[in-house]
Amino acid sequence: MTILKEAAATEPAAFTERPLAGAQFDWPALEKARHARSTRARPASSALFMSETIDGLNAGAHFLDRLPAPEQARVHAAARTITVPQGEMVFSQGDGHDGIFIIRRGQVRVYYTAPSGREITLAYWTPGHFIGGPEISGGGIHMWSGIAIETCEIAALSGPALEKLLTGMPSFALALIDGLVAKGKCYSSMAQILGTRSVIERLAQFLLTLSELHGTADGDTIVINRKITHDQIAAMVGSTRQWVTMMLKRFQNRRIISIDGSIIRIRRIDLLEQILFKE
């Protein structure tokens, strides 16, 4: 039985894989993808969300780059600087909305909690990104929650401050549109993957993304230099911790990965790619 068939057999019924008998792999395409991965520039401190590629993951961090230094200073002067300790909430789902938050230092996980208590992660946002949308100038309630993964320094722009900047500085309005475009692409990427990729494909894609963003070559393996729990993986790929634990054990049994404590090593990246590039 192939790894793909075994993986499919472990998926919940809601995520059942389509039949794979006679599946063929485009090896030139696999080699081309692998070459692209090895030559692609790695972002220094990239955001992380479910996407088919790391290209564009960090585009939103540059939304203020179009502004000259004096105008950037004006934006930051209009904001209130707050420090959010690790594990504390930046904003909470259901709370009243009043403006946005620009991350200056640290990392924030943005996620949604269902009535059942199950969570799905939208993204891990890093310095330069703004969070707290989709409302901009205030009103309504937060549709997501944001929690500090590490101690964060954040510039909080209230609704009135934002309106003043938008009406008095057209270049800032255009910059904010750039940021909203990046956010829209994030939401679209998440919807596309949840709607078109099976849960096993999403897990494979997530491991490949981690290898590109946080991987270091160690002989024939790639060491993922980012600690991540089974719960965190489950919230990213839209599954359960139990399923993730079972699937990672199966990957270990097939020698696709190895896990030593909190360290994940990818031993057969080609087999992960096969899951994604099957016809």
Q: How much is the average pLDDT of 248-262? A: 93
Strands of the sheet with 263-266, listed across from one edge = 215-218, 221-224, 263-266, 257-260
pLDDT at 278: 67
Q: In the predicted model, what is the mean pLDDT of the chain?
A: 85
Would you tell me how many other CB atoms lie within 10 Å of the CB of residue 245? Answer: 14
Please give the residue that has the higher pLDDT: either 134 or 251: 251
pLDDT at 7: 44
Cα–Cα distance measured from residue 223 to residue 158, given in angstroms and rounded to the nearest whole number:
42
pLDDT at 11: 44
pLDDT at 147: 98
**Which ranges constitute the DSSP H helices of the chain?**
3-10, 27-39, 69-77, 159-168, 170-196, 199-214, 230-237, 241-253, 269-277
pLDDT of residue 14 exceeding 60, the answer is no
Percent of the chain having pLDDT more than 90? 72
pLDDT at 18: 38
Q: How much is the average pLDDT of 44-50? A: 86
Q: Could you tell me how far CA 179 lies from the centroid of its own chain?
A: 16
pLDDT at 136: 75
For helices 241-253 and 199-214, what crossing angle results, to 10°?
70
Cα–Cα distance measured from residue 82 to residue 131, given in angstroms and rounded to the nearest whole number:
14
pLDDT at 31: 47
pLDDT of residue 208 exceeding 50, the answer is yes
pLDDT in tens, 95-140: 998 899 999 999 999 999 999 999 999 999 999 999 998 777 767 8
